[in-house]
Amino acid sequence: MTVISAHNPTAVGLLGGTFDPIHLGHLRLGWEALTQLKLDQLRLMPCHIPPHRDDPAGQADHRLAMAKLACESVPGFVVDDWEILRDSPSYSVETLKHVRQQIGAQTPLIFIMGMDAYRHFTHWHQWQEILTIAHLWVAHRPGSPPPEEHSQEAELLTQHCAPTVNELLQHPAGRIHIYSSTALDISATVLRSDINNGIEPRFLLPDAVWQYIQDHKLYGYAD
C-alpha cells in the first residue's frame, strides 16, 4: 500500500477515475487544479470497481502502474492505491471519508470532477454527505452544458457556490466552485479503440504510458 504523507497540509485535492489509460486530459485537469488551488498535493486515485459503469478494460495493476509512470515527475502529484486495493465498489463518499481521516478535520479537501459528472451528482451514492466532507471543484469546458434549470444540481450550486477559489481554501468543506478549464477533449474509449486499430496515440498520452502499453501489449496493441 502506498504511504502518503503531507506534513500539516493546507489543502488536498482528489481526482478519481478508471484512468484506462491515464492521458493528457486527466493530467492537465489535475495540474490546473493543483496550481489554481495552490494544493499541497493532488491525489490521483484509480478506482478498482466503478459502481455505475462497466468494469475497466485494463487490469487494475496495469492502470495503477501507468498512473504512477505519468505522475512520477510531476511535483505535487501523488498516486493513491487505496481504491485499487479494495475488492468492493469505489464509492466517492467512502474514498473522501478515508482521505478526510488522513488529513484531519480542518484541512480543505477538494474533490475534482468535470461538469458532465456534476450534472448527475444527486444520483451518486450518499451524495448528500459528500459536501459535508469536501468541496467540489467542477471543471467546465467550453461547450459542455451546465446543470438543467431547476435540477437539484442547479439548486445545490446556488446554495453552495464559491465565486472564487480562495473561498474553498478558507473552509474545510461545503462549497462548489465552477472553473473554466482548458479544453482537452481526449477520450480513453477512443484511445483504446485507436490502439486496437493500430493508430498511434502520440501527443495524447505521456510517452512513458505509451511505452508501457506497447511493452505489455495492452488494449490490443500489436507490433
Give the C-alpha separation, 192 to 158, whole Å. Answer: 38
CATH annotation of 12-217: 3.40.50.620
pLDDT value for 1: 57
Summarised one tens digit per residue, pLDDT across range 31-66 is 999 999 999 999 999 998 776 656 666 689 999 999
Which residues touch 122 (CB under 8 Å, ≥6 apart)? 151, 152, 153, 156
pLDDT value for 141: 76
pLDDT value for 19: 95
Q: What percent of the chain has pLDDT over 70?
A: 91
pLDDT value for 51: 67
Cell numbers at 9, concatenated: 497540509
Detail the DSSP E strand segments found in 86-165: 109-114, 135-140
Q: Order the strands of the 109-114 sheet from edge to edge.
A: 77-79, 41-46, 12-17, 109-114, 135-140, 176-180
- Cα 191 to Cα 52, 60, 64, 84, 165, distances in angstroms: 21, 18, 17, 22, 33
Summarised one tens digit per residue, pLDDT across range 58-104 is 689 999 999 999 999 999 999 999 999 988 888 999 999 999 999 99
Between 54 and 196, name the one with better pLDDT: 196
Summarised one tens digit per residue, pLDDT across range 124-135 is 999 999 999 999
Count H helices and E strands in the chain, helices first: 9, 6
